[in-house]
């Protein structure tokens, strides 16, 4: 069965549909796109509302956009069918002052450069208004096709047959949470955690490390209580300055979080604090770091 069979089922001519196969070789960017598609569809739609000249020309010629997210395993996850209207051509000022576009760029490419950098290369793009077609909503994040390969991400529906692999029972697109030894999160990650990730971090107690990526300085902390790691990390990134007092002069948008030692949800507070002090001693973060005590 092909994705094109669903187009025919809904009387949507293939010649009117552009296939948008979002893909990236950057694993950080790929993860960010999947999380935004799951948790912040407004930001994901802001991402797919503008395109480089070639894909933009294809979309201008087609009244419909079928959106997919390509995964490393060769899957292409259907995210929705949209009608589109060509909107304004964006100026430099509009890119710089639109809060949704700025947040989108920070979430997706903030690990490469601050959102204010490189905006000039985006000037002149058309911003398309995308309206989701409700009759395809039951397939969203459930319909999995085979990625057709190739570098081009904007395709013509009539020349790019998409083989259907499965129709999942439950809709989801966010990647599974990595093992705690491989977890590395930025402020942007923490503010848009997939629900399953957030539930897991709410359950975990442990010792964590913050690295300020602006200068490499390190801070060791511990998490326990009702919200455990989730609550502690959310407090660290909630404002425009760091908390506690040792981190107050610093910008939380440059923080990266990882776990040094995972502890049982029932671990005693005194045991967690003792473990924290041990890590501060071993990493020497009182003399050569950001811990004051």
β-strands 185-186, 255-263 pairing: antiparallel
| pLDDT above 90 for 160 | yes
Fold of 180-283: GIY-YIG endonuclease (3.40.1440)
Give tens-digit pLDDT for 229-287.
Answer: 999 999 999 988 888 899 999 999 899 999 999 999 999 999 999 999 999 999 999 99
pLDDT in tens, 166-216: 999 998 888 889 999 999 999 888 988 988 899 999 999 999 999 999 999
Give the model's confidence band at 115: pLDDT under 50 very low, under 70 low, under 90 confident, else very high. low
Q: Where are the domains of the chain?
A: 3-167, 180-283
Backbone angles phi, psi at 141, to 5 degrees: 65, 5
Q: Which of 149, 167, 155 is nearest to 70 (CA)?
A: 149
Give the end-to-end CA distance of the chain in Å, rounded to a whole number: 63
pLDDT for the residue 116? 72
Alpha-carbon torsion (175, 176, 181, 183), positive or negative? positive
For the cut 80, the answer to whether the pLDDT of residue 105 exceeds it is yes
107 versus 228: which is more confidently predicted? Answer: 228
Residue found under tokens 């949470």: 177
* pLDDT the model gives residue 106: 86
Question: 101 and 134 in contact (C-beta within 8 Å)?
Answer: no
Residue 224 has pLDDT above 80, yes or no: yes
């Amino acid at each position: 069965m092909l994705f094109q069979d669903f187009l025919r089922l809904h009387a949507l001519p293939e010649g009117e549909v552009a296939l948008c196969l979002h893909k990236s070789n950057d694993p950080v960017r790929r993860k960010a796109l999947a999380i935004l598609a799951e948790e912040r569809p407004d930001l994901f739609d802001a991402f797919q509302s503008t395109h480089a000249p070639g894909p933009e020309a294809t979309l201008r010629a087609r009244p419909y956009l079928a959106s997919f997210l390509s995964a490393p395993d060769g899957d292409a996850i259907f995210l929705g069918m949209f009608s589109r209207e060509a909107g304004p051509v964006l100026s430099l000022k509009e890119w710089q002052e639109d809060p949704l576009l700025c947040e989108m760029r920070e979430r997706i490419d903030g690990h490469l450069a601050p959102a204010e950098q490189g905006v000039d290369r985006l000037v002149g793009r058309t911003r398309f208004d995308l309206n989701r077609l409700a009759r395809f909503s039951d397939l969203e994040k459930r319909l999995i096709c085979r990625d057709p390969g190739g570098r081009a991400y904007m395709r013509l529906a009539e020349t790019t047959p998409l083989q259907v692999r499965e129709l999942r029972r439950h809709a989801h697109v966010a990647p599974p949470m990595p093992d705690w030894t491989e977890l590395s999160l930025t402020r942007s990650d923490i503010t848009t955690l997939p629900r399953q990730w957030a539930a897991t971090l709410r359950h975990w107690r442990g010792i964590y490390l913050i690295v300020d990526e602006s200068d490499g300085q390190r801070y060791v902390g511990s998490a326990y209580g009702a919200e455990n790691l989730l609550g502690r990390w959310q407090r660290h990134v909630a404002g425009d300055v760091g908390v506690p007092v040792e981190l107050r002069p610093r910008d939380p948008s440059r923080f990266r979080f990882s776990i040094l030692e995972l502890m049982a949800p029932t671990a005693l507070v005194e045991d967690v604090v003792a473990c924290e002090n041990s890590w501060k001693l071993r990493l020497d973060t009182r003399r050569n770091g950001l811990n004051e005590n």
